[in-house]
Amino acid sequence: MSFWARLLGNSDKKYRLNGVMFDTWYIVLPAILTVIGLIAIYSSSIYVSVDKFGTDSHYLLKQLGFCFGSFVLYMMLLNVSTKQWYELGRFKIVSLVIVLSLLVVFVGRDINGAKRWLSLGFCNIQPSEFMKLALILFVSGYIHRHYDEIRRFKCNLLISIPFLLFVAILYLQRDMGTMVIIAIILGVILFISGMQWKYIFPVCILGLLGVLWLIQDPYRMGKIVSFQDPFVTRTGTGFQLSMSLIAIAKGGLWGQGLGNSEIKLSYIPEPHTDFIMSIVSEECGFISVLVIFALELMLIVRSFFMGFEALRSKTDCNYFQGFCAIGIATWFGVQCIINMGVICALFPTKGLTMPFISYGGTSLISSVIAVCILLRISYERKLSYVNRIRKAQIRYKQVNKRVRAENKDGAQNV
């Protein structure tokens, strides 16, 4: 089977009865990206780690701890079926995320001017990272239950309730980036589900008015101004963007060598988080950025094709599985595009991580949970196909055996 057939092959014709039941793409690609992320985190955080903690491996060790916890969670969640995710996604996960996010508003920890983290003593968690997954599960489950009524205004209004609650909380947390991502996720899912344009257009207008109202805040307006020409405000709000562009320019096509970045030496605050790709570009060149983006793109494209196959299958159509896969693919895709766009000054700074690459425990855990769901969807769809084929083979053997017996009896009677 060719490479492209394997990458896009989640259709019935490309399943093999004797193949591995779990989709290895959802095991190999996240593992490769996570290893690349660990190398990038160690290289980009050395100076900051030594300056703050007196050791060069503080952030690496913390991320390794998050990786170990994510791996344990990964092995546990493989046994959770999509039916269980469907039940959890109705209200339980949404309610839990809302409660944790409200706790952040009242007792959260302020880091770098943003109140988005909840301190657990040994680490900080960012509940808004789980909003993306909670919204995907809720909306996918709702469409699965009410697909025939999805064109009605009432259904679209009910779907929007958790989204509006999330937006209100994110506004209080000043988290514009996550707000943009969940809005795009909801828009893509509703558009593919067949929502009428007469409902989409007013929502787009309201969203545009909301964005215009939000950017009136001096904090956000400063980001907009610095994004337009970061070098004009390089001593103020445009400092990060201008340093990021310099890092990319210094790296060129092949880079200055792993560990040889100069911009990470306190020129970019927290270089191992949102702007880690600019350090990767400086050290390993634009080629390395293309490789990482290609790996992310393979994961995204695979998920989109699996989602559309689940929606269009004539023998095993499942709206929950299909919209979950499409929603997760949209989440990863939009977050990658925005993160890459920010370091190139194509978008204002949003505070969004690069999936599996940037430092951050909550980001890694939420991404791993999403991959577990994708892996489980691919497993159940392949298992369903294999069971259908095996049942058909058993029926064929039974019919063939009966026909031969009847022919034998007929020959004896003659």
Report the distance separating Cα 34 and Cα 13, nearest Å. 32
Inform me whether the pLDDT recorded for 33 exceeds 70. yes
The DSSP call for residue 148 is: G
3-class secondary-structure state, position 124: strand
Inform me whether the pLDDT recorded for 99 exceeds 60. yes
Task: Indicate the pTM of the whole model.
Answer: 0.88
Q: Which residue has the higher pLDDT, 219 or 153?
A: 153
Three-state SS for 390-402 is: HHHHHHHHHHHHH
- Please give the backbone phi and psi of residue 115, each rounded to the nearest 5 degrees, phi first: -100, 85
Q: Poorest-confidence range of 260-269, 296-305, 334-343, 399-408?
A: 399-408
DSSP of 157-221, one letter per residue? Answer: HHHHHHHHHHHHHHHHHT-HHHHHHHHHHHHHHHHHHT--HHHHHHHHHHHHHHHHHHTTSHHHH
Q: Which residue has the higher pLDDT, 402 or 146?
A: 146
Residues in the chain: 414
Q: What is the pLDDT of residues 250-259, one digit of tens each?
A: 888 888 988 8
Report the distance separating Cα 404 and Cα 406, nearest Å. 5
Inform me whether the pLDDT recorded for 50 exceeds 80. yes
Question: Does residue 261 contact residue 43 with C-beta atoms inside 8 Å?
Answer: yes
Q: What is the pLDDT of residues 179-202, one digit of tens each?
A: 889 989 988 998 888 776 666 666
Q: Which residue has the higher pLDDT, 28 or 398?
A: 28
Where are the chain's structural domains?
24-403
